[in-house]
Amino acid sequence: MTERRPLIGLTGRRRPGRDLERFPRSLADVQLNVYVAEYARAVIEAGGLPVHLPLDVDPADYVGRLDGLLLSGGEDVEPALYGALPETDIYPPDPLRDRVELGFVDMAIADEMPVLGICRGLQLLNVWGGGTLHQHVPTHARYDVPPADRIDELSVERGTLLHELYGDQHVVNSLHHQTVDRVADGWIVAARSGDGTVEGIEWPGHDVLAVQWHPELLPTRPTDPVFAWLVQRAGAAQRVGR
């Protein structure tokens, strides 16, 4: 009997039809669930089976049905969630997405499944854990170059999971304008860029890892170890009958 491929839940965002080029004007107000295809491709290439998670569900209904969770990039996290007032409106928060994704984190941790956060996903996990964010760091939002360009060299902390995956140094893309300010209690910084910006965090004792860059947009995506880690840990949780 063929072993079941681990099911990895992928978060997305919601947009009105008017935001999509060439979408019929008559459907301007129709709400669309939008998922960046590269996340799903990365999961498939790592041996997992992606499951897109709409914003209309109760995360509790997924208990025992998923094997892993991938929190994707997107709009800013609501500053009120970490006790701050808004300082920028470049990428306005989506309170519904915040609420649902935080619920999925609660569910994943309670169900002992691995969690990978990417870009916004890292920021959301830090806020979930009680940390805070810098709301606008424009020097890291390098939209002036192709998304696959590696422009930021990171130093990876020895003794971390991220170091096991990437070694001492790793060169990445940079597509974010918010960064970690205060790291959540109990979490550790696993990687920093040259200016000290937090680029990776981990929660020791848990299968929870987050990176600030976008590995799904790099040409190394098919073999990137962070996706292999997620799917491998999801498969391990599946086999022990989580």
For the question of residue 52 being annotated catalytic, the response is no
Catalytic residue among 101, 119, 176, 202: 119
Distance from C-alpha of 188 to C-alpha of 149, rounded to nearest angstrom: 27
| Amino acid letter, residue 218 | L
- Among 202, 164, 151, 159, residue whose Cα is nearest residue 180: 202
The one catalytic residue among 170, 176, 177, 214: 214
Rounded to 5 degrees, φ, ψ at 30 are -70, 135
SS3 state at 44: helix
Helix (H) or strand (E) holding 229: helix 225-239
| Owner of token pair 């969770």 | 69
Does the annotation mark 153 as catalytic? Answer: no
Q: Is 216 a catalytic residue?
A: yes
Q: Which DSSP helix (H) or strand (E) runs through 41?
A: helix 37-45
Whole-angstrom distance, CA of residue 146 vs CA of residue 187: 32
* Angle in degrees, CA 206, 226, 138, rounded to 5: 100
Residue by residue, DSSP assigns 165-184 as HH-SEEEE--B-S-EESSPP
Q: Tell me the catalytic residues.
A: 119, 214, 216
